[in-house]
Structure formats: structure tokens, C-alpha cells
């Protein structure tokens, strides 16, 4: 891990994009753009030459796409990578594959309002580059999945229709969520998740999880029931809240409303609604992520009688949100990611 200014190598097959990114990111005094590369082969030589602290990588490139490059690169050169993604279906798919392959995070290229969208994208990319440069990725390789996980077969899971598991995650969360959800048994209590992600990506992420899990996983829609064996993921650019309707729990997804804690969907919004409507029937889980979204909401959940836990530092990509949840008193304790599914089931079984 380097120290500011962080040495950045930009990899993109478009000379125009390379120029825009290099000029834009060089405006940040904490970023030193040491070079650009037009494809992974050019990048390999420049990685050896410049020894960058962080890379930005276009997801769609000729000769070798970003995912294949990551799979070859990271075992030899564990360098933090931020993907630059197109909003195409193929771009979304490759981006999710890239996160699986070890990329830290991604930003999307603007599709409309290019001038204002470009500035927003460059600002977001600069922040993510600086965050990524501080992350030691060498220990994360063991968390990159290589085989299909075996679901836990609980001996005494108290099957209850009135329990709710609420999960919040950001940077590194797609991998963490997958490692938990794919190990849940099919009768697990209802799960509701906020993962910081743009619209479109949450839908594809949900479909992929659904294909490899025993539980049903879907992008949430207003009115969806929270029920055993179902996982609802908040849609990008919508806040998701839990409500109680008679004896049932449902979710409401709202496109209206400003970002909360800098995000939409926001974990804070979800957790506060869970505290209000589920109280002691809820279990809150905070996973890896930058910032403090949901930390105060988890405090409110705990005050309402909910059980809570957060991911431990060693297994996090970014120990931001879990740390804040723990330090502020929201999370009862820190749990390693590998132990999280079993611990969730244990706590659920102990809840009256």
C-alpha cells in the first residue's frame, strides 16, 4: 500500500477515454497518474515499470477483457483495481464478473447529460481510487470463490415467519453477500438487503444469486412479502423500507427522496424501518463497506430489541461501515465472514 499521492495506472482501449480520465484524475492532489495503457498487454509492462498503487480498468477491451486480465494479474501483482463500466447488459455482466475476480469497486460511464455526468463520474472515481489505494488486497484472494459453497444444514433452525434478517453492505459487499446467501438453508427467515449499487446492476446481481442459492433471491418491488426462504435486494436508486401489513412483513421501494448518508438505496433507511416495524423480531447484519451508512440505524435497531452483528476487520474489503456500527454501539460483536452464516442461524434460533 502506498501513501499519497497514490500512483495510478489507467487502462482503457480508447485514447479519448484515457485522456479524459488522466486529465480529470490528475486534478486531485492525492492522485499521481503515472501512465496509461491501451490494453492488458501494454498494462503488464507498465505495471512492472511504474509499480502503481492502484489501477483503473475498462471492463470491455479487445484482445483480453478486464475479467481475464484480473484473473491473470492479481495472483502475480496484487494491486487494487477499480473498474470503469459501461451501462450495457454485457458491461454489467463483466463488471459483476470482475468483482468476483477481485476488483475492489466500479464506476459507470455516464450515458446521458455527459458534461455533468462526466464530472460526477470523475469525482466518484477519484474517491474510489483513493480508497482502493489504501486496501491491502493480498489477503483477499482467499475470499475469491472457486467452488460452489455447501449450504448449512441446521439441526435446530427455529422456523418462524415473523423473523427478519436485515443486511447492509457496500464496497466488497457482492462477494460477502454471496458467501452468506449461498450457504443459507431454504427455510431461512426472510432476508432484506441493501447493497450500494446503481440501477440495473442490482437486478443482474439478484438473478445471479438466485441461480446459485437454495433460497429465492429477487430484486425487490413494492409490496413484495418478506417470507421464509426469500431474499429481497433493494433496487438501485430506490430506498427500501420494511412495513408491517397485518401479520405480514412487506417492503416498500421508493424512487422519490434524496440520498441518505450519501447513498440510495441507504442502509440507514432500511435499518430504521426495521427497528420501527420488526423490533425484537429482527437481526441486523453489517458487512464490508466504506463510510458509516446504517451505523446509527443499527443503534436504533439494537435499542428496539433487535440482535445485531458486523463483519470483522480481517475479512472486510473496507472496514468502514462495520467499524462504525460496532464503535457506535449498534453491532453487538464482530464476526468473521466465513462464520457469519452459521452465526446468523445460531442467533435466529435463540430469538424468542
In whole angstroms, give the CA distance from residue 274 to residue 193: 11
Task: Please tell me the number of Cα atoms within 13 Å of 155 on its side-chain side.
Answer: 0
Size (the chain), residues: 352
Dihedral, CA of residue 80, residue 120, residue 100 and residue 217, to nearest 10: 150
Task: Please tell me the number of Cα atoms within 13 Å of 52 on its side-chain side.
Answer: 29
In whole angstroms, give the CA distance from residue 34 to residue 6: 9
Task: Please tell me the number of Cα atoms within 13 Å of 213 on its side-chain side.
Answer: 25
Tens of pLDDT, residue by residue, the chain (352 residues):
668 899 999 999 999 999 999 999 999 999 999 999 998 889 999 999 999 999 999 988 877 888 889 998 888 889 999 999 888 888 899 999 999 999 999 999 886 656 677 888 999 999 999 999 999 888 655 544 545 677 777 554 555 568 999 999 999 999 999 999 999 999 999 999 999 999 999 999 999 999 999 999 999 999 999 999 999 999 999 999 999 988 899 999 999 999 999 999 999 999 999 999 999 999 999 999 999 999 999 999 999 999 999 999 999 999 999 999 999 999 999 999 999 999 999 999 999 7
Backbone φ and ψ of 33, nearest 5°: -75, 100
**114-162 pLDDT, tens digit each:** 667 788 899 999 999 999 999 988 865 554 454 567 777 755 455 556 8
Residue from 287, 289, 288, 232 nearest 263 by CA: 289
In whole angstroms, give the CA distance from residue 295 to residue 168: 10
Q: Catalogue the active-site residues.
A: 170, 196, 293
Amino acid at each position: 500500500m502506498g501513501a499519497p499521492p497514490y500512483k495510478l495506472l489507467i487502462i482503457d482501449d480508447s485514447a479519448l477515454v484515457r485522456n479524459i480520465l488522466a486529465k480529470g484524475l490528475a486534478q486531485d492532489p492525492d492522485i499521481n497518474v503515472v501512465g496509461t495503457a491501451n490494453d492488458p498487454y501494454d498494462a503488464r509492462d507498465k505495471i512492472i515499470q511504474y509499480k502503481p498503487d492502484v489501477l483503473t480498468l475498462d471492463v470491455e477491451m479487445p484482445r483480453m477483457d478486464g475479467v481475464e486480465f484480473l484473473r491473470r494479474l492479481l495472483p502475480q501483482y496484487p494491486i487494487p483495481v477499480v473498474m470503469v463500466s459501461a451501462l450495457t447488459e454485457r458491461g454489467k455482466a463483466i463488471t459483476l464478473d470482475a468483482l468476483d475476480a477481485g476488483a475492489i469497486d466500479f464506476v459507470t460511464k455516464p450515458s446521458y447529460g455527459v458534461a455533468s455526468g462526466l464530472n460526477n463520474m470523475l469525482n466518484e472515481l477519484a474517491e474510489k481510487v483513493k480508497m482502493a489505494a489504501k486496501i491491502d488486497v493480498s489477503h483477499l484472494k482467499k475470499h475469491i470463490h472457486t467452488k460452489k459453497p455447501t449450504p448449512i444444514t441446521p439441526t435446530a433452525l427455529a422456523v418462524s415467519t415473523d423473523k427478519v434478517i436485515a443486511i447492509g453492505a457496500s464496497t466488497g459487499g457482492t462477494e460477502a453477500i454471496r458467501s452468506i446467501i449461498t450457504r443459507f438453508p431454504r427455510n431461512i427467515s426472510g432476508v432484506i438487503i441493501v447493497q450500494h449499487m446503481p440501477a440495473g446492476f442490482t437486478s443482474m446481481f439478484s438473478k445471479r444469486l438466485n441461480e446459485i442459492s437454495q433460497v429465492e433471491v429477487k430484486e425487490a418491488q413494492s409490496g413484495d412479502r418478506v417470507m421464509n426462504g426469500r431474499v429481497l435486494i433493494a433496487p438501485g436508486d430506490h430506498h427500501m423500507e420494511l412495513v408491517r401489513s397485518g401479520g405480514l412483513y412487506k417492503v416498500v421501494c421508493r424512487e422519490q427522496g434524496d440520498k441518505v448518508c450519501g447513498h440510495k438505496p441507504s442502509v440507514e433507511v432500511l435499518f430504521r424501518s426495521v427497528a420501527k416495524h420488526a423490533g425484537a423480531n429482527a437481526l441486523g447484519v453489517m458487512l464490508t463497506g466504506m463510510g458509516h451508512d446504517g451505523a446509527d440505524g443499527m443503534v436504533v435497531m439494537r435499542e428496539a430489541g433487535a440482535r445485531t452483528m458486523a463483519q470483522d476487520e480481517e475479512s472486510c474489503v473496507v472496514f468502514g461501515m462495520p467499524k462504525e456500527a460496532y464503535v457506535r454501539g449498534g453491532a453487538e460483536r464482530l464476526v468473521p465472514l466465513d462464520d457469519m452464516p452459521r452465526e446468523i442461524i445460531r442467533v435466529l434460533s435463540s430469538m424468542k
